[in-house]
Each structure stands twice: as C-alpha cells, then as structure tokens.
C-alpha cells in the first residue's frame, strides 16, 4: 500500500518561532514516519505582502531549513523544496483560478488580517489569489493531510472545494485533503496579541539564544488587570501560562499547576513565574540549539537537501500536470 501524503509549508519571511512549532511543526515531526512528507518553502507566497523583499529570500530559506532540521524533521524522510523552482505549480494555479470566485476569496477571514498587519489598503490580484496558489501547492503533490495553524484552516477549505470542483468537472484526479490543526491552534504573541507572527515581531524564535529568550520573557505581557503580586491574576489567555502549558514537560506539570493556583489567588509575582518560564523554554530549546549547531557545521547540506527535494517534488508536479491535462483534454500532442 502506498503511504498517504502530507503537504504543508511556510513562507520564508523570517525565522521560525514557537507558534510554528505548536501549530504545525510538532505534527510534522510526529507524523513523518506514517506519511510521505512534502514541505514546501513558499517563496512565491511572500510576494503577496512583500514583493520588494526578494533579496532576503535566499538567507531566509537557508535559516528555515536549519529550523526544520533542528526541530527533528529528518531530511532523509521529508522532501523539502522551493515553490518558485516548480513552474508546474503556477500553471496549475492558473487552471484553479477558474474554479473559485472573487467573492469567495474576498470573504477569506485571513485576507482582512493580513491586509491590516501588512498595512495594505487594496489587495493585489496575487494576495486575493493566495488560497488558489496554495490549493495548487497542496494538490500538485496530491496531499492527503495538511498540518497547519488555525489561521490556515479557511484556506484549506478552498483547496477542498477546488479539488471537488475539478474532480466533478473533469475527472477524479485529486484527493480532498484534510486539515490537521495543532494542539495549540494559535499561539499568542509575547505582546499579548492573539497570534505570534513573524510580521508582528512578537515572537520567540526557535533559534533564539538562552539570553534572548530570557530578555523576551522578562518583558512579556501577562495579565493587564493585575497591578501588584497580591492581586488575583488570570491564567486563561495569559501568554505566560499558555506557553507553560504548551512547552512544559510531563515533569513540569505539578509545578505549573501550583503556579496557576498561586497566581489566581494573588500569592506569586509575575517575575517568579516568568523566571520559571525562561527555564521551561530553554529546556525545550536546548536540544534544538544543539542539533542546529550540528547541522550548521555540515557545509553544503542545506543546498543538497533543497536541490534533491526540489527535483523530487518537481517530478511529482510533472506527473500530476500530465493527469490534469489529460482530464481536461488539453493533451493536444498526446
Ligand atoms: P507571517 O507573519 O509572515 O505571515 P507567520 O508567523 O504567520 O508569518 P507563516 O509562514 O504564515 O508564519 O505560517 C506558517 C505555518 O505556521 C502556518 O501553518 C501557520 O498556521 C502556522 N503558524 C504561524 N504562526 C502561528 C501561531 N502563532 N500559532 C499557531 N500556528 C502558527
Ligand atoms: Mg502568516
């Protein structure tokens, strides 16, 4: 029996952070033995909000692959590839553009959020079409499962609709992929914003040093209603506790429960809990840092992973496109 496939990826707009880990990376690592994994580095998607920043992409891609490997994605198992090097993806996106409507895309909840964050007044054709290109990314490799953060759920719904519509209109070529949202669907930012996000600068990166983590945690947002340590505090929605829950090990659970009790009854100060969080996060990040240093010391590794991955993904893309053109009767020359 052939293995089912995972397709997911990230925009190379900066370093990966804790939000990426809980939203998507954790599931990728967990499932990499059960599924055939394709991880797309979606550089074309960065054009939708930062068309002028293409000069940064190469370095960002390098760092992102290091992020992948350092959290435990196995380059022997996963196919890691660069979107823009697979022209078949854009060809498929053009075809898919006819299987959804403009109002459908205008209604995407992410569109409003992205426009606000990137200070875009009027969306470009490319930004509006983001979910269409994403459908091409996913269906090009016939992805069955898409592990992503909650913000991406509505996009995958568009992919499913496009797959259904294509299969009905032409021939059953595509699977209808399922979405898999992480255990923490959206990790809040260090500033208390509802989403930790590269573009908001409210992140703790997977590659941050122990000192950087300490600095960021000690100045992070907690419970705005609490002025003194003796005021009863709130645990729900408080990013300090959200991070403790997300990154605490089994052996930290009793202490976390104790801090929650003390916090809600005004018996512990923010500083003490934050110091504990620094410890928990650095315990979580230490093995990641170690692995990163090991991979960094192997010259040419990133290039090898990316080149091999892109070649493999392109073969899949070409195969799919042949099927697509046959189904659509666009295979004029046989
Ligand atoms: P940008 O601000 O450039 O959009 P981002 O931080 O939102 O960057 P993306 O590359 O857009 O990161 O997202 C990659 C993947 O990580 C997606 O599956 C997304 O849902 C997930 N993700 C990003 N931020 C979070 C978060 N704070 N919590 C959970 N999942 C997240
Ligand atoms: Mg995003």
C-alpha–C-alpha distance, residues 266 and 114, integer Å: 38
| The two structure tokens encoding residue 323 | 């099927």
Ligand 1 atom with the shortest distance to the CA of 148: 18
Of residues 166, 251, 169, 196, the one with CA closest to residue 22 = 196
- Is there a domain that residue 195 lies in? no
Q: What is the pTM of this model?
A: 0.94
Q: How far is the CA of 282 from the centre of ligand 2 (A)?
A: 25
How many structural domains is the chain composed of? Answer: 2
Distance CA 52, CA 87 (A): 21
Atom of ligand 1 nearest to the CA of 117: 2
Q: Looking at residues 200-228, what average pLDDT do you find?
A: 95
Q: What is the pLDDT of residues 87-135, one digit of tens each?
A: 999 999 999 999 999 999 999 999 999 999 889 999 999 999 999 999 9
Same domain, 29 and 95: yes
Give the mean model confidence (pLDDT) for residues 151-176: 97
**Whether 273 and 287 share a structural domain:** yes
How far is CA 5 from each of CA 19, 98, 324, rounded to the nearest angstrom? 23, 26, 19
| Arithmetic mean of pLDDT, 9-34 | 96
Which residue CA neighbors atom 25 of ligand 1 most closely? 19
The residue whose CA has the least distance to atom 7 of ligand 1 is: 197
Output the CA 76–ligand 2 centroid distance in Å. Answer: 27
Query: Does the pLDDT of residue 1 top 70, yes or no?
Result: no
Q: Are residues 150 and 226 in the same domain?
A: no
Same domain, 41 and 170: yes
Residue 197 included in any domain: no
DSSP category for residue 12: -
Token pair listed for 193: 């914003």
178 and 313 share one domain? yes
Residue span of the structural domain in which 220 resides? 208-294
Same domain, 169 and 260: no
Q: Nearest C-alpha to atom 19 of ligand 1 is from which residue? A: 149
> In ligand 1, which atom is closest to the CA atom of 195?
27
pLDDT in tens, 262-318: 999 999 999 999 999 999 999 999 999 999 999 999 989 999 999 999 999 999 999
């Amino acid at each position: 029996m052939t293995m089912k496939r995972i397709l997911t990826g990230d925009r190379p707009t900066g370093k990966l952070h804790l939000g990426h880990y809980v939203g998507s990376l954790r599931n990728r690592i967990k499932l990499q033995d059960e599924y055939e994994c394709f991880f797309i580095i979606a550089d074309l998607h960065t054009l939708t909000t930062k068309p002028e920043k293409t000069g940064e992409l190469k370095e960002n891609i390098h760092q992102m692959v290091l992020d992948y490997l350092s959290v435990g994605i196995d380059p022997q198992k996963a196919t890691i590839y660069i979107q823009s090097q697979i022209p078949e993806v854009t060809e498929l996106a053009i075809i898919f553009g006819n299987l959804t409507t403009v109002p459908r895309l205008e209604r995407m909840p992410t569109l409003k959020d992205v426009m606000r964050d990137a200070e875009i007044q009027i969306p470009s054709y490319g930004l509006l079409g983001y979910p269409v290109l994403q459908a091409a990314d996913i269906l090009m490799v016939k992805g069955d499962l898409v592990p992503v953060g909650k913000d991406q759920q509505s996009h995958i719904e568009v992919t499913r609709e496009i797959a259904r519509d294509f299969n009905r209109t032409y021939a059953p070529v595509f699977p209808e992929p399922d979405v898999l949202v992480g255990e923490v669907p959206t990790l809040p930012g260090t500033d208390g914003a509802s989403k930790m996000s590269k573009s908001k600068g409210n992140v703790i990166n997977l590659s941050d040093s122990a000192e950087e983590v300490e600095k960021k945690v000690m100045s992070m947002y907690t419970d705005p209603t609490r002025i003194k340590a003796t005021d009863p505090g709130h645990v729900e929605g408080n990013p300090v506790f959200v991070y403790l829950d997300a990154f605490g090990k089994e052996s930290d659970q009793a202490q976390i429960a104790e801090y929650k009790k003390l916090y809600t009854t005004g018996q512990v100060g923010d500083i003490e809990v934050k110091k504990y969080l620094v410890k928990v996060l650095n315990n979580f990040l230490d093995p990641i840092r170690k692995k990163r240093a090991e991979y960094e010391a192997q010259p040419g590794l990133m290039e090898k992973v990316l080149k091999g991955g892109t070649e493999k993904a392109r073969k899949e893309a070409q195969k799919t496109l042949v099927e697509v053109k046959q189904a659509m009767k666009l295979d004029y020359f046989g």
